[in-house]
Amino acid sequence: MPVFISLTNGFPKDHLYRTVRRTAIYVLIVCIISFLIGEFILEFFGVSIHALKIAGGIIISRSGFQLLNSQHKSDIQGEIEKESRLKEDISFSPLALPLLAGPGTMCLLINLGIQSKGFVEKASIIGSIIGVAAVIYLVLSSAPLILKYLGQTGLRTLSKIMGLLVLSIGIQMMVSSGKMLLQAGI
């Protein structure tokens, strides 16, 4: 949310809501494509699910670590800020990809796509993806109000809590995949 607020500072309301809507739609598309065809991409490149889980765990852990150590005021620097200032539409890049549906998200969804069996399980995951896109829409639409209510201290605290959870998810992905590799004798 702090990144979104920084990148959209000064946007007129109609442009802001158009950006929010497009961002949520792009996140939805990237996530569903990753979930549905990720397995075929892995097979094409000869990457095992264990390698993907370890790589995804590292990426997700890195994101969690960054959330734990973020300063918010200095989060938007360098290339992302330059790129966003030059673009009229920042909804796909950098907002949807890589900030909201980045490599960690894609690794997780490819993993879920491979592990899920049957129509009901796949449909429930797609339903969850749709739900997450809706939450992204609601949160980003409410970002200025949430920032006003929580303030910088509240956002920092929320980032730290989310960072710990995200870091734990990434480490769990690596541990479970490493354990499976050891059991397989690889």
Tell me what the mean pLDDT of segment 49-53 comes to. 83
Mean pLDDT (the chain, rounded):
84
112 close to 35: Cβ distance less than 8 angstroms: yes
Instruction: Work out the pLDDT band at 20, boundaries 50, 70, 90.
Output: very high
Tell me what the mean pLDDT of segment 104-116 comes to. 90
Q: 27 or 8: which carries more pLDDT confidence?
A: 27
CA atoms of 33 and 16, how far apart (whole Å): 26
Tell me what the mean pLDDT of segment 1-14 comes to. 81
170 close to 63: Cβ distance less than 8 angstroms: yes
Residue 136 CB coordination number (10 Å): 22
Quote the pLDDT of residue 22: 97
**Three-class DSSP category at 173:** helix
- CA 118 to chain CA centroid, Å, is 25
Q: 77 or 63: which carries more pLDDT confidence?
A: 63
Residue 60 CB coordination number (10 Å): 25
Instruction: Measure Cα distances from 102 to 27, 52, 93, 95, 107 in Å.
Output: 9, 14, 11, 10, 9
- CA 127 to chain CA centroid, Å, is 17
DSSP string computed for 137-152 = HHHHHTHHHHHHHHHH
Amino acid at 104: G
Question: What is the per-residue pLDDT across 126-181, written as a single tens digit (0 to 9) for each?
Answer: 999 999 999 999 999 998 888 888 887 887 888 788 888 888 888 988 898 888 88
Instruction: Work out the pLDDT band at 74, boundaries 50, 70, 90.
Output: very low
